[in-house]
Amino acid sequence: MTEPRWRVPLADVVVDDELVDAALETLRSGWWSMGPRVEEFEREFASFCGAEHAVAVANGSAALHLALLAVGCGEGDEVIVPSLNFVAAANSIAHTGADPVFCDIAGPEELNLDPDDVEAAVGPKTRAIVVLHYGGFPCDMDAVGEIADLHGLTIVEDAAHAPGATWRGRMCGTVGRIGCFSFFSNKNLPVGEGGMVVTGDEELAKSLRLLRSHGMTTLTWDRHRGHASSYDVVVQGFNYRLDELRATVGLVQLRDLPEENAGRARIAARYREALDGVHGLTMPFGRIGQERTSSHHLAVVLLPEGTDRDAVRAALGEGGIQTSVHYPPIHTFSAYSSAAGRPLPRTDAVAGRLLTLPLYGRMTGKQVESVVEALLGAI
Ligand SMILES: Cc1ncc(COP(=O)(O)O)c(C=O)c1O
């Protein structure tokens, strides 16, 4: 066991007997690499999302990389992506050979991409738009869809924050052409490392399956069962496979996801009630309409302008409360400084004020109150 450094960690996982028993059963089965449990996880995840196809992969970054390759992104292309995002999206674009083009957010209330700025960023080389549903709040998929239709662009959803969130009744990840999920430990569906790509397009699904496993036409699991004895390699692929143990954890977590999301929603509502508009703090996404529901991946507050965020974080940390920042905008990183050509004033304006508070389904009322009290005290 690791030492519990935080009284209130940023994220937490539930380890119950069901999870441990399921993991032991998989270990005892003697088949650990990709096989029947991965297939079952894919079927159940597809069914949860209402997607035709789900392809399990090693992590969310691999999901994005494969999705971008499958939709044809490569050298000479540009892909539009919000700078206020995890760097994996930009890295995945770059690894296809394409160039990321950063777009701005709508504003401090709506930390998702600004459709007008996406439109402004479209050029002759644009091939795709990677949208993020920031913190689990779906971005305006109607507006992005119109831009994509007008210019013949593909929408890739980075739904890492958004399993279970919906846009006009459809699950995030299934609204665009292809959707990518992460099952990193701090996500709503934590596995440790893992990811999933969902799509309604059979050709894309085929291509994803090939690219996931070296471009080979059969799997070790097929050969083990005697369903195949050899293979061809038809594209130059990767080893981005998920293994059986993590698929087992994923299956248990998927069953718990609705309860996890409901718990997060309750805690997010309490944060909003206690913090929004108090002492100059604001909580973004205060006015979300009927068209979307959130999976509440992150509890983000905007500190009053001029606040020393490091000092606030240090004060909370001293009280055993872990915080984070989602995200330092990608265009501010050294590796992307040369791609930082477009002005992103709204991203720049909120970047220094963002603070992420602890949020997970089983957070206790006492923990929430201690975070609220510590934050109000610190500012
Ligand atoms: C928005 C977003 N996209 C992509 C990723 C990459 O996922 P992973 O860490 O599983 O590679 C993450 C995870 O941290 C994320 O938060």
* Site to substitute for ligand 1 among 66, 184, 242, most atoms within 8 A of C-beta: 184
User: Left (φ > 0), alpha (ψ -120 to 50) or beta: where does 295 sit?
Assistant: alpha
Give 315-341 pLDDT, tens digit per residue. Answer: 999 999 999 999 999 999 999 988 768
State residue 1's pLDDT score. 55
Q: Residue 80 C-alpha to ligand 1 middle, in angstroms? A: 17
Q: Is the beta carbon of 336 within 6 A of some atom in ligand 1?
A: no
Q: Residue 90 C-alpha to ligand 1 middle, in angstroms? A: 11
- Measuring from atom 5 of ligand 1, which residue has the nearest CA? 60
Q: Is the beta carbon of 86 within 6 A of some atom in ligand 1?
A: yes
Q: Where are the alpha helices (DSSP H) in the chain?
A: 17-29, 36-49, 60-70, 87-95, 115-121, 141-151, 202-212, 220-224, 244-275, 309-318, 345-351, 365-378
Give 167-190 pLDDT, tens digit per residue. Answer: 999 999 999 999 999 999 999 999
**Position 3 pLDDT exceeds 70:** no
State residue 161's pLDDT score. 98
State residue 296's pLDDT score. 98
Q: Residue 93 C-alpha to ligand 1 middle, in angstroms? A: 13
**Position 2 pLDDT exceeds 60:** no
Q: Closest ligand 1 atom, CA of 62?
A: 11
- Is the distance from CB of 105 to CB of 350 less than 8 angstroms? yes
Q: Residue 307 C-alpha to ligand 1 middle, in angstroms? A: 28
